[in-house]
Amino acid sequence: MKKYNWGIIGTGQIACSFAQSLLRVNNEIYGAYNRHVEKAQTFAQTYPVQHVYENLDDLLNDENIDIIYVSTPHNAHYEMIIKALQAHKHVLCEKAITVNDRQLEEAVSIAKENNLILMEAMTIYHMPLYKQLRQIVESGKIGQVKMIQVNFGSCKEYDVHNRFFSKDLAGGALLDIGVYATAFARYFLQSCPNTLITTNQYFETGVDEQSGIIMKNQDGQMVVMALTMRAKQPKRGVVAGEDGYIEINDYPRASQATITYTVDGHQEHIQAGDTSLGLDYEIIDMQNAVFEGNEKTLTFTRDVMKLLTEIRTQWGMVYPFE
């Protein structure tokens, strides 16, 4: 695989996992920037980063950088993506890629005009298990997909200031964990849902603490989702077809699934990839997309962002900076 020079923007929690993946896939990390430079310097002591930048423009203007990885909180994704694309860099951005579809569509236009790759670091689109399961679904082995059930519940510590509950940082269950559930559902649907019913419960900061969401597409396929940030639920996805169903536990970074064929009840266990390498697969797909000049997951990302935007519109939930 051709080697690329990556620049990391935001050296927080997920950037540490990303750095380990980048070292595995690429052997080196070219550059890193954090708004508090000391944090980037500490990061560079843990992972061998070749260049630490004191300001963002220095990273963006470094002609040696091919790909930017954005790992700031959600509220800062849009600004970082646009600046990186305008500096003619390919961009891999953490989920949720933007806070609404308007921001995403603007970024997509700039990427297309400049022949740049824009990709969301959504593990589901890149894990080998999902690529195999999609082939199984497309082959018709479980029959026509009718119903998808998908949950995500984590009990985040009660802290009105952390990014999960902060409205200023575009917190809330939908953007933080609902993006996984929606990506899971969209990945197995024939088309994007065009009917949507939802209700939610707000946390005291004004972000969505939990919600129930039902969706249907023009092909009559339905999705039922349950999200919460204050109660643990199994992260479980079920894709049910007329002839069988697929169950995936811990689906955001899954490497195993079970298919039950309803005609005779026999089961098939699918194993593909490695859960601990979730971010490695994102890097490999991004580098391949840059090499081939062809991106395969942006359609899912755009549909998911359209749905997340519509859900918040129905709730009447607006972030202060929108």
| 95: contact with ligand NAP by CB under 6 A | yes
Please say whether the beta carbons of 77 and 93 come within 8 A: yes
To ligand NAP, the closest distance from the beta carbon of 132 in angstroms equals: 22
To ligand NAP, the closest distance from the beta carbon of 169 in angstroms equals: 7
Residue 145 or residue 170: which is nearer to ligand NAP going by CB? 170
Helix-helix angle 278-292:13-26, to 10 degrees: 60
| 94: contact with ligand NAP by CB under 6 A | yes
| 208: contact with ligand NAP by CB under 6 A | no
Residue 72 or residue 221: which is nearer to ligand NAP going by CB? 72
Q: Concatenated DSSP letters for 125-175?
A: HH-HHHHHHHHHHHHTTT-SEEEEEEEEEEE--S-TTSTTT-TTTT-SHII
Across the beta sheet with 49-53, what order do the strands follow?
49-53, 29-33, 6-9, 67-70, 90-94, 118-121
Residue from 8, 25, 76, 229 binding ligand NAP (CB under 6 A): 76
Residue 71 or residue 200: which is nearer to ligand NAP going by CB? 71
| 37: contact with ligand NAP by CB under 6 A | no
Residue 276 CB contacts under 8 Å (≥ 6 apart), including other chains: none
| 34: contact with ligand NAP by CB under 6 A | yes
Percentages helix, strand, coil for the chain, rounded to the nearest 5? Answer: 40, 30, 35
User: 3-class DSSP state for residue 61?
Assistant: coil
Q: Concatenated DSSP letters for 15-53?
A: HHHHHHHHHHHHS-EEEEE-SSHHHHHHHHHHTTEEEEE
To ligand NAP, the closest distance from the beta carbon of 10 in angstroms equals: 3
Residue from 1, 3, 24, 35 binding ligand NAP (CB under 6 A): 35
Tokens representing residue 76 in the block: 């800062």
Three-point CA angle 216, 221, 227, nearest 5°: 60
To ligand NAP, the closest distance from the beta carbon of 321 in angstroms equals: 10
Please say whether the beta carbons of 237 and 251 come within 8 A: yes
Site string for ligand NAP, 136-175 (x = CB under 6 A): ---------------------------x------------
User: Which residue is at the shortest CB distance from ligand NAP?
Assistant: 12
| 199: contact with ligand NAP by CB under 6 A | no
Strand partners, 148: 223, 239
**Phi, then psi, of 158 in degrees rounded to 5:** -70, 105
To ligand NAP, the closest distance from the beta carbon of 258 in angstroms equals: 25
**Count of residues binding ligand NAP (CB under 6 A)?**
19
| 224: contact with ligand NAP by CB under 6 A | no
Residue from 66, 101, 176, 280 binding ligand NAP (CB under 6 A): 176
Site string for ligand NAP, 8-27 (x = CB under 6 A): --xxxxxx------------
To ligand NAP, the closest distance from the beta carbon of 14 in angstroms equals: 4
Is residue 59 exposed (0-12), middle (13-18) or buried (19+ Cβ within 10 Å)?
buried
To ligand NAP, the closest distance from the beta carbon of 163 in angstroms equals: 6
Task: Return d(Cα 100, Cα 196) in angstroms, integer.
Answer: 17
Cis bond leading into 96, ω under 30°?
yes
Residue 74 or residue 156: which is nearer to ligand NAP going by CB? 74
Only one of the segments 68-76, 212-220, 256-264, 292-300 lies at the binding site for ligand NAP (rule: CB under 6 A); that segment is: 68-76
Which residues lie near ligand NAP (CB under 6 A)?
10-15, 34-36, 39, 71-74, 76, 94-95, 163, 176
